[in-house]
Amino acid sequence: MKPHIWLLKLMLVSIVVLGIPVGGVMAFNYYIDPLWNFDHSHEYNDFQRGHNERIQKTNWINSHHFDFDSLMIGTSRTTYINASNFEERVFHYGLSSLHITEYLDYMQYAQSKNPKEFETIYMELTVRSHDLFYGPEFSEAETFFSQSEDPFYPVTSLFSKDTYDRAKFNYDISKNNYAGIPRTYDRNLEVTTSYVGKDIGERIEFFKNQLVEREANGPEWIYDPNYRGYLEEIQAAFPHSNFVVFTDLMPAERLQLTIEHPQIQPTYKQYITDIVEVFGAVYSFHQYNDVTRNHANFFDLYHFYPSVGDLVAKELQRREPSELLYIVTKDNIDEYFAQLGI
């Protein structure tokens, strides 16, 4: 037999031998879909770890029929406010460690995919969103947008061992209906957690010591001189949307240590004032009440459980003052600061 015939046979055998396991990995990755490039759901992919929500939620936008009434944008704290609590259809673009300089890019991207203007934009701005030195941790948003819109990406990503490792993890937790990690999503972006978390009392002491140590090294937080400009740019980009700008709900002790700190207090007041002056009001969950005093409602100093997120969603829909919510306007801003003791 001629040499080239042997070579051809060898190549065909190699393709078959190598193709079976590669095809199996690709099929498994597609079946579990940890990158949210597809829209199928079943009992073995109903628990999904959010490893990089910037690409995952952007992929979700591009793999589903995207038609929503309103938008929610914010940090990982907002992910525990499930959109199913709202009467209107809300797309939840909550992203871990979202920085103030990133908000507009993701908001405009979601708007570009929606067939109509968002009626309401629920926008969380954390107590540290104005900190000049609390910078972005991820690549520029355009990196994720371009990747997600690459027509070959949904297929090429199936070849990845990293995708396989994530798929295997999601398969295991879905099969067991238990994750034990801080955040898992279902295929509709609803969040659950079975995470026990850390002792809040111990974390408060650690936070207190951090404030003392940082105070000795200079100002704790520096107010970003461009912060108000970022807010004005966001507001101007959505002139027909109703903004509901809200603060992060946190344990009462952390709130008190933060806003009563002599170096932080002026920046806190400026932060609330700028939001009110740009958007007309801030829906503040910075309150001392039964919810914020109960350590069982939090698994660390920054994140509450979904049951508390249900309460937050109810307040954001109702939009009336309550024990949990203080609606700050130009008319009552001084009273707001006074009732916080600052």
Per-residue model confidence as pLDDT tens for the chain (342 residues): 444 454 444 344 444 444 556 677 788 889 999 999 999 999 999 999 999 999 999 999 999 999 999 999 999 999 999 999 999 999 999 999 999 999 999 999 999 999 999 999 999 999 999 998 877 888 899 999 999 999 999 988 988 899 999 999 999 999 999 999 999 999 999 999 999 988 999 999 999 988 887 766 666 679 999 999 999 999 999 999 999 999 999 999 999 999 999 889 999 999 999 999 999 999 999 999 999 999 999 999 999 999 999 999 999 999 999 999 999 999 999 999 999 999
Q: Which residue has the tokens 């240590």?
A: 257
Closest by CA to 36, choosing from 27, 44, 45, is 45
Distance of CA 292 to CAs 61, 115, 250, 254, Å?
A: 34, 39, 6, 10
Q: Cβ–Cβ contacts within 10 Å for residue 156, how many?
A: 10
